[in-house]
Amino acid sequence: MPIRQMKENSEQHFVIKPQVQNSMTQVQKNQKNLQNGKGPPTQNESQNAKINQHNSPPSKNRGRRRGRGGRKSDQSDIPMRPSSRPCTIVEKSMSEFPAIGKPVENGSVSVENGGNVCAMDMGFPSSSKSLRFAPRPGFGQAGTKCIVKANHFFAQLPEKDLNQYDVTITPEVVSRSLNRSIMAELVKLYKESDLGMRLPAYDGRKCLYTAGELPFTSREFNIKIVGEDDGMNGPKREREYKVVIKFVARANLHHLGQFLSGKCADAPQEALQILDIVLRELSTKKYCAVGRSFFSPDIRKPQRLGEGLESWCGFYQSIRPTQMGLSLNIDMSSAVFIEPLPVIEYIAQLLGKDVFSRILSDSDRVKIKKALRGVKVEVTHRGNVRRKYRVSGLTSQPTRELVFPVDDDSNMKSVVEYFQEMYGFTIQHTHLPCLQVGNQKKANYLPMEACKIVEGQRYTKRLNEKQITSLLKVTCQRPKDRENDILQTVRKNAYDEDPYAEEFGIKISEKLACVEARILPAPWLKYHDTGKEKDCLPQVGQWNMMNKKMINGSTVSRWACINFSRSVQESVARGFCNELAQMCQISGMEYNPEPVIPIYSARPEHVEKALKHVCNAASNKLKGKELELLLVILPDSNGSLYGDLKRICETDLGLITQCCLTKHVFKINKQYLANVALKINVKMGGRNTVLLDAISCRIPLVSDIPTIIFGADVTHPENGEDSSPSIAAVVASQDWPEVTKYAGLVCAQAHRQELIQDLFKTWHDPVRGTVSGGMIRDLLISFRKATGQKPQRIIFYRDGVSEGQFYQVLLYELDAIRKACASLEPNYQPPVTFVIVQKRHHTRLFANNHKDRSSIDKSGNILPGTVVDSKICHPTEFDFYLCSHAGIQGTSRPAHYHVLWDENHFTADGIQSLTNNLCYTYARCTRSVSVVPPAYYAHLAAFRARFYMEPDLQENNSTGGSQPSVRATRGAGEVGVRPLPAVKDNVKRVMFYC
C-alpha cells in the first residue's frame, strides 16, 4: 500500500533507544527466569525503551474531538453463568488510574524511564537508523518436529562487483515500456563498444546496474526509436532521445554477506534491489509485469470470468534475505485482465444482451463508459495497420448522427461517410455510439465495430459475485498441484540459462527448500460444567458443540424477527426461528422461544421504515423496554440491504442484529444453527469457550499479571476510489485472565493513510483545557472497568503492514501507546510487545511427503499448529511463520508474525504458543483460525465501519464487522474526512461485529 514518504532532512526523527542492548543469551536467561515462575521483569528490564520527540513539526492530521466509546460493561452488567474459580493475583501496590476520565491539564506528563511523551500532536516520523527491531531470542523447541518444504529457492551470492548508474532520458518519458525499448536499443547498438561487453539490467526508470564497471563514469547517447503504432504499411514515426548514463555507486556485497550470516543488523537494501531487478529483467521482457508478478496467456489458457473479463495465470518472484542465505521466493498467482475482444462483442458481454440491433439505454451508456474509460483499443479497419488509442469517453449520440468539420470553412461530414470514403469501411451498426479517443480539445471518433481491445490490460475495478466465484474456482489449487506448478515455473524460467543471471553471477537452485518445522499441540478448551463435556481437545484444528455448553451463556428474553425475503413464507420463517431458539438453549443460552411480536415481512427498499416499525411495535408491547435482539432474514442476493440494515440498527436504533440468508432458512442445517448460536451469544455479551490454561493461570507472560491484548488494522478503499477515507480499527481484550472478550473502536482517517491517527490524541477544550483521548486510552480505561485492574503488560498485534512500513508504523504507534499510558497516570508505562501480522505474502509450506496421511489434513495441507522460525525466516530478527488452521480447499497460507518490539522478553516458544492458542478462541466458529483473533476482529470491525458511511459513499459488497464512535481526521491541505456516526452505547458494549 502507498504510504506518505517523508524526507529525512526536512523532519526530525522519533528515536527509540533501547536502554539495554540485550544479547540473545541474556534475553534467553531472562526468559528462563520468567518461565520458571520468578515473576515479571523488573521495572528497569521492562521499560527498556525510550521515545523522544524532538521539536516535531505541527501534526498533519488534526481532528475534532470524538466521544469515548467501545468500552465493555462491567462483568456484573452481563448475565452469565459462572465459570471456574477465577485466578487470584496479588497485585503490586500501584495507584489505580487516579486521572481516569479526567483531562490531563498541561498536555505533558513526565514519565520516569519512559521518555518525553504526550506532546499535543504527533507528526509523521521518518525511519531512524537508531531503531533496532527485536532480535531473535533463540529458536522454538516446543511441539513435534517434522520437515516441510517451502517455495523458496536458494540463490548463490555473486562474487562480482555490482555498480549502479543513473539514467536520464530526454525528452522525459513516462512509460516504463518505452524507457525499456530505448535502453534495449542502446544496448543493442553499443554493447560491444561503449559498454565494454557489459549486459546491464534496467529498472525502467532511473537506475541501470552492471556487474563490473562500464568503461566510463558518464556518457551521452543519442537513440532513435521507431514507433510501433502505425503498422507495417506507410511511413513509420521516428523519434530521437538523448540518454545520459552516469556512475552513482558500487553496491557492498560484503555487507550483504555479513547481514545474511547474522553478523550485522542492517539489510543492504541497494544490493538486494539490484539482485531482484537482475533476476526480473528477462521475465519483464517476456511477460506482462504487474507489481512483483508476471502474467501471460501462454503460461496457462486464460479462463473466462464473464462480462468481458478473463483470468490469467502467472507467477510471483522476489529475492529475500533469509537464514539460509539469499532466497528466491516463487509462487503461483492470478490476475484479472480485460478479454481482447472486438469492442462490440465486449459490450455485448458487459451488458448481457443483444447490442447488434437494440438501442442502448442511458444506463447502458453509463456502464459502457465506465468500463471502457482508459482502456487501450486498436483499429481493425485498416488491414495490417493496427494503430492503438486510449478511450477517453463515449459519444452521447449514435454514430449515424455524428458529424465533424473537415476543413476551416466549417464544411461538415458524417462519420459514416468519412469511414466509407477514407477507408472503404461500411459501418453496419450505426445505432451504437462511437468511442472517443484523444483529449477533449481534439477528440476523435472511432466506431465500436472498427475497434478491438488490446491484449494484456489488467482489470483493477471491483468484481461482481459471479466473477469472484469463477476466479476462486480457477485459482484454487491443491497443495500438491501448486507445488508442481511452482517447480515447473522454475524449470521453465531456466535461471541457469538466463543471460542476466549469468552476467551477474547468480545461480538459482531448482529444488524447494526443506525446512525444519514443529507442530504445536492444540490447547484444551473449557466449556461449562453443566455440559456432558466440560473440556475439549480439538482434533486437527476442529471440534464441535455436541455435548458442550457455552462457558458463559447469555440471556435473550426480548427478540423479534423481520423477513425481507419474498420467497420465505411466515410459516417457514417461524419454523426456522424455533429451530434456532432450541439450538441456542441446547448450547447453553437462556433464550425465550417466543418473539415479542409476530414475524414481520417487508420489502428491501423499505428497510428503514420496516425497522422503525418493528422497534416501535415491540416497544409498545413491552411497555417501554427495548428489544435485545433482532433476527433478520435476507434474500441471498441483497445488494446494499445488509449494509443499510447494519448502519441503521447500530448507529440509529441501537439494535443488535443477526442476519440469515434465505438459502439457510430453507435448508435448516444443525451445524449452521450452532454457528449462528455462537455468534448470537457473543453479540449478547456471553463467551463461548476459554482456554483451560487461562482459567488455570498457566499462560506464560499473560496469567502472571493483568495483561491486555490489542489487535489493530487499517482497511483502505479499493483501487479507483480516490476520495473515500481509510478506516482504522483497534480492539482490546476485556476479560483477563481469560483473554476471550474484546471491545473495539473505529475511526475514519485520511485516504490511504496507514498510520493509525487516533491511537492517542489531545485537544483543547475551552472549559477543561487540554484533554487527552484516543482509542488506546479509552480501551485501557475500559479494561480497568471490566476487570477491576489496570493492565500491567501490553501485547499489540498489528495487521496489514508491509515490510517497507515497519519502521514508520512502529515509531508512530508505539509512541502513541506510550503517550496514552502516561496520560492516565504518571510513571505508568507497562511493557509493550509489538507484533506485525502479515497474510499478504507469498511463502507457502508443503508437506514433505504428500502421501503421508499422518502429516497432512483432509485438504492435503500441512497440519494446524505448524510453525517455522528457521532457514526461510529473517537472518537476525524475531519472526516466524505459523499455520494455525486446518485447510478447507486450496493451499493454506501461513500467517507471518514479526515481533518488532519486545519489552516483555518473550521466548520463541512463548509467543508462538500464545499466538497459536489464541487462534482457538475465535468466537464465530468451532475451528482454529488462520490469524490471531484480535487482529481478525480488528479487520472485521474496520470493514463494518464502511457500512456506516453515508449511502452515496458506501462501497457495495463489503463484508465484516465494526465498532464504536468514530470521528474525522484531517491532513494538512486536505479536505476533512467525513465523520462516521457513533455506534449506540448498548451496541458497542458487546462484540456485535461478530
Record: fold of 698-833+917-949+977-993 = Nucleotidyltransferase; domain 5 (3.30.420)
Say if CB 709 and CB 937 are below 8 A apart.
Answer: no
Place of cell 554493447: 191
The neighbouring-strand residues paired with 518 are 145, 867
- Condensed to tens digits (0 to 9), the pLDDT of residues 68-121 reads 333 333 333 333 333 333 443 333 334 556 444 433 333 333 333 333 333 333
Crossing angle of helices 176-190 and 269-286, rounded to 10°? 90
- Condensed to tens digits (0 to 9), the pLDDT of residues 715-756 reads 998 876 777 899 999 999 999 999 999 998 989 999 999 999
Contact partners, residue 822, CB within 8 Å, separation at least 6: 109, 111, 114, 117, 118, 828, 829
Domain spanning 343-454, CATH architecture: Beta Complex (2.170)
Neighbours of 675 (CB within 10 A): 18
Q: How far apart are CA 672 and CA 381, in angstroms?
A: 58
Q: Residues 349-353: contacts with CB within 8 Å, 24+ apart?
A: 349/306, 349/307, 349/308, 350/307, 350/308, 352/307
Contact partners, residue 952, CB within 8 Å, separation at least 6: none
The reported pLDDT for the residue numbered 802 is 93
The separation between the first and the last C-alpha atoms of the chain, rounded to the nearest angstrom, is: 27
Q: How far apart are CA 943 and CA 728, in angstroms?
A: 9
Q: Rounded to two decimals, what is the model's pTM? A: 0.84
Residue 307, Ramachandran bin (φ over 0: left; ψ between -120 and 50: alpha; else beta)? left
* Phi, psi (deg, nearest 5) at residue 226: -90, 125
The reported pLDDT for the residue numbered 359 is 87
Peptide bond into 171 cis (omega under 30): yes
The reported pLDDT for the residue numbered 951 is 58
> How big is the chain by its Cα radius of gyration, in Å?
31
Q: Where do the CATH 3.30.420.10 domains begin and end in the chain?
A: 698-833+917-949+977-993
* Phi, psi (deg, nearest 5) at residue 274: -60, -50
The reported pLDDT for the residue numbered 236 is 63
- The low-confidence residues of the chain, meaning pLDDT below 50, are 1-94, 98-129, 229-234, 953-974
- In three state form, how does the secondary structure of 757-805 look? CCCCEEEEECCCEEEEECHHHHHHHHHHHHHCCCCCEEEEEEECCCHHH
Place of cell 476459554: 690
DSSP for 221-260, please give it.
EEEEEE-STT-SSSPPPEEEEEEEEEEEEEE-HHHHHHHH
Peptide bond into 737 cis (omega under 30): yes
Counting Cβ atoms within 10 Å, is residue 859 exposed (0-12), middle (13-18) or buried (19+)? middle
Say if CB 225 and CB 182 are below 8 A apart.
Answer: yes
Neighbours of 248 (CB within 10 A): 15
Nearest to 914 by CA among 705, 682, 694: 694
Nearest to 730 by CA among 765, 761, 686: 761
C-alpha torsion 696→698→704→710, nearest 10? -100
Q: Where do the CATH 3.40.50.2300 domains begin and end in the chain?
A: 553-686
CATH entry, 553-686, from 3.40.640.10, 3.40.50.150, 3.40.50.2300, 3.30.70.1450:
3.40.50.2300
Q: How far apart are CA 820 and CA 901, in angstroms?
A: 17
Contact partners, residue 218, CB within 8 Å, separation at least 6: 244, 245, 246, 247
